[in-house]
Amino acid sequence: MTSIDTSSRTGDALIDELTDWLEENWDPDLTVGEWWERLGMAGWAAPMLPEDSYGKGVTRGDALRIGSTIHRFGALGAPTGMAVSMASPTIVTHGTREQIDRLIPPAVTGKVSYCQLFSEPGAGSDLAGLSCKGEQDGEEWRINGQKVWTSGGQYADVGMLLARTDPHAPKHRGITWFVIDMDQPGVDLRPLREMTGNAMFNEVFLTDAIVPDENRIGAVNDGWAAANTTLLHERSGMGARSGGGGEARMVIAGGVANNLDKRAGDFAPTPRSTAAAAAAEKDKKQAPTSAATVGSSPAKLYIELARELGKSGEPAVRQRLAQAHILGTISRFTTERHKAVRATGGDIPGVANFSKLLMADIVRLNRDLGMQLLGARGMLHSYGGSDELPGGPRAVAVTSQALNAQALPIYGGTDQIQRNLVGERALGLPKEPGDMSKMPFSELPKNT
């Protein structure tokens, strides 16, 4: 797997190497495309990928430090999105050498952006029940079906596609994983407007869309294994990328978004001196977790808002603020604990599922706390992000978070599915009765 630490250099040595590399290579007058080409081909854009596959073979912790070092240096961060975080680790794990060398460079250099064509109107939690058809026709595959919830499809050059390629096999054994070109007549993408005011999702209709066989990742009908790699990286949240760029302006990767010819320096964060950047990264590593964690409260936004609105003395508000701080702190400690165990080659069964459940509780608590603080003002939202409504930017942040709170408990596996996984995989409880996983897909009962 790509997350195995194969690097000969870790920790401070790696940060020193990166700082030297940035001194030599960062130039704000490069275009975004030119800068990402340098960063990606040097292995700094997707450092968790193996060294022979355009990465550095580093751990997740080191990948995060690489991301924040680039940010503190004042350079534009690596391309973000599914190309780096989900598609690349899947292709590296299940693809051939030829596919790795053809498909990974455009992904890690931000030239190509991916979307995820997995969910369908009748297959979300039960993803293996998908029915979008893939039929082989010589060296090509013909795809027919419908996908939904396709985040960022409007900016995607290509998609990670799951299609049913053998309806007579049991449902998990007749699926194949493809890379499909989104810019073709057989792909019809329609945006779906959400209550947040954004249209991040799309529905995608595939009518005789074509995928060349060379873009099939893994064996025919063995796509479930590849899909699980993609989902693992989706759930772990960071995949193979180098981590966030803090306050840097987000630059959407890929040809469709049309950012590659813009000046890289226009999107870069404010630089710090390079020596200060390297020293800060090292200090961060040496600081004990507790000190780093206690310093700033996870509930900071809400504490500040409560003070601003004169509500920080209300017992009911104080209780919820304390709860938000406690849950946020537990979440951080859980992540630290898991990281420490993984660094020694171990694992804690079910912790990824617990962490996601905890995050879902946190976003719901924050939503309710925000509404409690804003009162009647919470019923209004500044859809353009403008501050024409009372309450200023903090109120806008609170109503945005409240509207977005419904997303996390659903994507990457709903709360109920996380609990099923904990029950079956971590606690060893029996599966649901009536398991039909061995029955041919074509004979499964269907809604009519």
Ligand X SMILES: Cc1cc2nc3c(=O)[nH]c(=O)nc-3n(C[C@H](O)[C@H](O)[C@H](O)COP(=O)(O)OP(=O)(O)OC[C@H]3O[C@@H](n4cnc5c(N)ncnc54)[C@H](O)[C@@H]3O)c2cc1C
Residues that bind ligand X (CB under 6 A): 115-116, 118-119, 124-125, 149-151, 407, 410-411, 414, 416-417, 420
Compute the distance between CA of residue 292 and CA of residue 61 in angstroms, rounded to an integer. 15
Cα 226 → chain centroid: 17
Nearer to ligand X, 18 or 117 (CB): 117
Can you tell me which residue has the tokens 């507790």? 290
Helix (H) or strand (E) holding 131: none
Q: Smallest gap, in angstroms, from Cβ of residue 146 to ligand X? A: 11
- Looking at the Cβ atoms of 100 and 123, the one nearer to ligand X is 123
Least distance in Å: CB of 96 to ligand X? 25
- For residue 393, count CB atoms less than 10 angstroms from its CB and return exposed for 0-12, middle for 13-18, buried for 19 or more: exposed
- Give the total residue count for the chain: 448
* Interaxial angle between packed helices 300-308 and 392-404, expressed in degrees from 0 to 180 and rounded to the nearest 10: 130
Tokens of 287: 């600081």
How far apart are CB 124 and ligand X at their closest, in Å?
2
Nearest C-alpha neighbor of 305 from the set 293, 287, 317: 317
CA 349 remoteness from chain centre: 21
Q: Which is nearer to ligand X, 121 or 349 (CB)?
A: 121
Residue 335 Cβ vs ligand X, minimum distance, rounded to whole Å: 21
Minimum CB distance to ligand X, residue 131 (Å):
13
How far, in Å, CA of 155 to CA of 162, rounded?
Answer: 19
Query: Least distance from C-beta 202 to ligand X, angstroms?
Result: 9
Nearer to ligand X, 295 or 445 (CB): 445
Q: Could you give the CA distance from residue 221 to residue 100 in angstroms, rounded to a whole number? A: 20
Cβ closest to ligand X, residue 303 vs residue 360: 360
| Comparison of 21 and 411: residue with beta carbon closer to ligand X | 411
* 155 vs 191: CA distance, rounded Å: 11
CA 125 distance to own-chain centroid: 18
Residue closer to ligand X (CB basis): 124 or 254: 124
For 131-166, letters b (16+ CB in 10 Å) and e give bbebeeeeeebbbbbbbbbbbbbbbbbbbbbbbbbb
Min dist CB 220 to ligand X, Å, is 21
Helix (H) or strand (E) run with residue 209 in it:
strand 201-212
| Between 30 and 227, CB nearer to ligand X | 227
Closest to ligand X by CB, 116 or 229: 116
Ranked by CB distance to ligand X, the top (closest) residue is 124
Tokens describing residue 11: 């920790």
> Minimum distance from CB of 216 to ligand X (Å)?
19
Judged by beta carbon, residue 210 or residue 357, the one nearer ligand X is 357
Judged by beta carbon, residue 151 or residue 329, the one nearer ligand X is 151
How many Å apart are CA 82 and CA 168, to the nearest integer?
A: 31
Minimum distance of ligand X from residue 14's CB (angstroms): 32
Closest distance between ligand X and the C-beta of residue 416, in Å?
Answer: 3
Sign, CA dihedral 4-7-9-14, equals negative
* Strand residues in 338-387 grouped as ranges (E): none
Closer Cβ to ligand X, 85 or 119, answer by number? 119
CB of 118 to ligand X, least distance (A): 3
Residues 364, 236, 253, 192: is their CA dihedral positive or negative? Answer: negative
CB 58 within 8 A of CB 66: yes
- Could you give the count of Cα atoms lying within 13 Å of 23 in the half-sphere of its Cβ? 11
Q: How far is the CB of 365 from ligand X (least distance, A)?
A: 19
What does residue 245 show for φ and ψ, rounded to 5 degrees?
A: -105, 30
Distance between CA 438 and CA 431 in Å, rounded?
A: 14
